[in-house]
Amino acid sequence: MVGKKVVHHLMMSAKDAHYVGGLVNGARIVNQWGDVGTELMVYVDGDISLFLGYENIEFLAPVYVGDFMEYHGWIEKVGNQSYTCKFEAWKVATQLDRTDADLSGVATPGTAATACEPPVLCGRATGSLFIAKKDQRGPQESTFMDRKHPGE
């Protein structure tokens, strides 16, 4: 890993619902990974970058309205102008009625929630990002000082 992990926290809201039952479209996860990747590029070389694409996108567990998510990303490899990043989406809290918990005695089951212990891995992917050599300004955050482009 180059530098440090970047983590974004977000609660899935009604505007994120795409399917019946409040299920969130997997594209919402991919969208968040784009923001995580952009933040990584700012830290590593001082530019918002271009996202070249993803490979090996896997959706592993459903995400619903009301879920609290963490979107993780880190740089695995630095090329001359490209960066290979890994991304994960973790569910860290969910509504109680989405679990197998006993809801008897819960006054308002529609708003009851719980932490996911352990967190649930909902998605993972590998992404490639690009910063032109002329736009690379060097590390902008101290934990990324160890990044080296080939030939440096």
DSSP one-letter string for 45-107: HSS--EEEEEEEEEE-S--BTT-EEEEEEEEEEE-SSEEEEEEEEEEEEEEGGGTT---TT-S
pTM over 0.85, yes/no: yes
pLDDT of residue 111: 86
Residue scoring higher pLDDT (6 or 150): 6
Q: How many residues does the chain have?
A: 152
Q: If you average pLDDT over every residue of the chain, what do you get?
A: 94
Residue scoring higher pLDDT (151 or 66): 66
Q: Find the mean pLDDT for residues 58-82.
A: 97
Task: Specify the residue for token string 């991919």.
Answer: 30
pLDDT of residue 147: 86
Angstrom distance (rounded) from CA 47 to CA 68: 29
Kindly report the CATH class assigned to 2-135. Answer: alpha beta
pLDDT of residue 97: 81
For 75-128, the pLDDT digits (tens) are: 999 999 999 999 999 999 999 888 777 778 888 878 889 999 999 999 999 999
